[in-house]
Amino acid sequence: MKITNKIIENHGLKKDEYKNIQKFLKRDPNLLELGIFSAMWNEHCSYKSSKVHLKKLPTKGKQVIQGPGENAGVIDIGDNDAIIFKIESHNHPSFIEPYQGAATGVGGILRDVFTMGARPIALLNSIHFGSPTHPKTKSLLNGVVSGIGGYGNCIGIPTVAGETKFNETYNENILVNAMAVGHAKKDKIFYSKAKGVNKSVVYVGSKTGRDGIHGASMASAEFDENSEEKKPTVQVGDPFTEKLLLEACLELMKDNSIISIQDMGAAGLTSSSVEMASKGSLGIELELDKVPCREENMTPYEMMLSESQERMLIILEDGKENHARKIFDKWDLDFVVIGRTNNSKNLTLKFNGKVEGEIPIEALAEKAPVYNRKWIKKKLTKNKVNVKSLKKIKLENALIKIISSPNHSNKNWVTEQFDQMVMCDTAQRSGSDAAIIRIHNKDKAIAVSVDSSANYCKSYPISGGKQIVAENWRNLISVGAKPLAITNCLNFGNPENEIVMGEFAECLEGIREACEYLEYPVVSGNVSFYNGTNKKNIYPTPVIGGVGLIKKLTEPLTHCFKNFGSKIIIVGKTFGHLEQSCFLKEIHSIIDGKPPDINLLNEKNNGEVVLKLINDKLVSSAHDISSGGLIIALSEMSIGNKIGVKINKPRNLMNLTEYFFGEDQGRYILEINEENLKKVEKILKSNNIYYENIGYTQENFFEIDGEVKIDTNELFKINNQWYNNF
């Protein structure tokens, strides 16, 4: 077939990129080779627009075993235990086909984790939808939630935490980010680097079909009015087969049979073989007529680009083939030696004895295009909201409107569709600041949380990037965990747009600064560009997934008030920052101004002291203050156990709206038993931590002196009404 300009364009390649392909090959590529270049050089696989910025992130720390560059990140939690985790996007497939898109997103991230030798112990998600009034939102929400639950529940991994948000920026491009966390022994971690010559390259798992062809390329392009036509590029998942594959791989990993292992994710057999060979500076020869296929007359092009699910590529030690085959036969999975490693440093593809393609590995991997794209620095708005000019609204009415809004109402409708307790190690599930998973048969546990803040990132990306790292840090602190490391999923619009690229560069700068200061390294992640439709880009939406350690878990700390008559303390100073706040958006339909400042010194100091108070058993409940400010955080603490509060007005002359709805960062609410109050205050004072004693818990009523008085049962009903009626 003659390669035309149209064919090149349809493969997502630029004219200059095609010329480089010709230079690498010293000839024109055939269609198979062009497809392989297209798969490996798209944004989803090559990170060609993001590499120059990703290199700036801190990726090392005393607890880091493996940072970015492998299937997932690995951290040390002591006693020869390691936690392996990563977050990835499945945005485009989930918009086109919500159930399968979300389901295969879960399946893919699970394979990234167990490929490295970990048994998955938890799933999380960050899902963003358009306006609730948009005609597609309801069906997309139902499909995505069903897909996440359908896959996770069937494979038997608990979905323990996440976030569900609505914003009109996602009307035509939803975000579905899935995170998986696994546990492994430090001395039994597996990597994807190929080693040795003439080693067996083995295909295991499900058969290859035509689903998902060009899936990675589709994820590297904007949507248009014809996006529905891309359904064939969405993969189809089978959680029951994935369960078999998981158990078979973990069984084989018990001995010394595996040299390297790689899941067939984006770009399928192409990316898995190329990545293994590239990391090992080797070549790989594949005999494609041996690839197990579930459809007739599949071509080499289709085999190499298929993204059929539940498949792995393994390189075995000499003489281990029969041993490994018995294991996969037992689990009723395909096991076929489809190739061998060599010294050629080429990807050689044969079909029925004939060479159908031959490409230098380095051309597909380390010498793939890298772009330092032009970007525009965000100008910080000088607009400042004049609070005094706003239409007056009672604190009570504003509170009711916000806690009954889509983004702040109770999300049990979503979380109850996920099995959160399977495996019996979930010590605290979704609903608190972070979920807690006990390390099986041990006293210690990990805490996990995911966070995002698109409005902050849009208004001032540097500050927004810092804020989401800091909020994630606070969420782990609030349950008594020491934050160890993060993974990130960076969801942005078209990188060829200088404004979008500026948002990306500056968000990354904010993330870098916060991670460095908080000693909170990035160990894995994913970049998702081209999120938009017809040139309209989404808000910049980096998502942070954090993991923390609880060395000795007794009773999990939640955000819900526990007792009547407890003292309520705010740690951290309130300045009353309302710009970009939930209050302005929900009450006045204003999205303006700059986000709150992030003082990393205060974040670190406040967090470390709060963690000490929690570990010393001086805190009954804790909650960080974020979206909606102090009054929303208090209401969330009150609703959980229907325990009321009596809150004093601030002693200073600050406007009440600013005080209660301001979104100043670095703050926590602590519930303290009266007998511990003096001790807590002494510790706070000795560490120069600003705090306020603002009131106490009580029966029946959520009350602010002279301003708010709502029965706690009524508050609960108000918080639960939106999802029930949606």
Indicate which residues carry an active-site annotation. 44, 90
Give the whole-angstrom CA distance, residue 262 versus residue 244.
17
On the CB side of 560, CA atoms within 13 Å amount to 13
CB 5 within 8 A of CB 29: no
Structure tokens that stand for 250 in this block: 């973990």
Comparing CA positions, the residue from 599, 627, 629, 624 lying closest to residue 611 is 624
CA distances (Å), 479 to each of 229, 427, 555, 573, in order? 45, 11, 10, 21
- Residue 282's SS3 state is coil
- Residue 549's SS3 state is strand
CB 293 within 8 A of CB 209: yes
Comparing CA positions, the residue from 117, 92, 116, 122 lying closest to residue 266 is 92
Q: CA dihedral in degrees (211, 213, 214, 218; nearest 10)?
A: -10
Spatial strand order of the sheet with 621-624 comes to 621-624, 668-672, 567-571, 691-698, 644-647, 701-704, 708-711
Give the whole-angstrom CA distance, residue 192 versus residue 533.
35
CA distances (Å), 309 to each of 280, 286, 525, in order? 25, 19, 20
- Residue 17's SS3 state is helix
Q: CA dihedral in degrees (321, 324, 327, 332; nearest 10)?
A: -60
Give the whole-angstrom CA distance, residue 364 versus residue 371.
15
Angle at 631 between CA 629 and CA 637, to 5 degrees: 105
Give the whole-angstrom CA distance, residue 163 versus residue 143.
16
CB 195 within 8 A of CB 125: no
CB 114 within 8 A of CB 246: yes
